[in-house]
Amino acid sequence: MLHTAAVARTRNLFPLDADMASSLHAVVHGDVQGVGFRYYVQRRAEEMGLAGWVRNRPDGSLEVVAEGSRPALGRLLELLSKGPGLADVDRVDAEWGEATGLKGFAVRT
């Protein structure tokens, strides 16, 4: 389990091979909409060479699906627990899995 205060729970351990493509599905809870969070995630994910998408959910949370290297996904998860300056993250629920071959990183509406 990742030891970050804002991360509520994680499922499935990281794959053993750091170079193996993995996936991260995360839901970020708190004051995370209307603060530029989706574009913050997109920018950071693209900088780290990750593929996937981010979107606002009707319940006020933010959902992220990302694929790439285990170290880069771990860094993204840490960034999700903090968010951009105006965000107030309460917790991040995260699940790990195998990559499915996503390309690019999109902001979904």
Catalytic residue numbers read: 38, 56
Q: Which helix (H) or strand (E) holds 40?
A: helix 37-47
Measured between alpha carbons, how far is residue 3 from residues 37, 76, 95, 109 in Å? 22, 14, 15, 31
Work out the end-to-end distance of the chain between its first and last CA atoms, rounded to an integer number of angstroms.
31
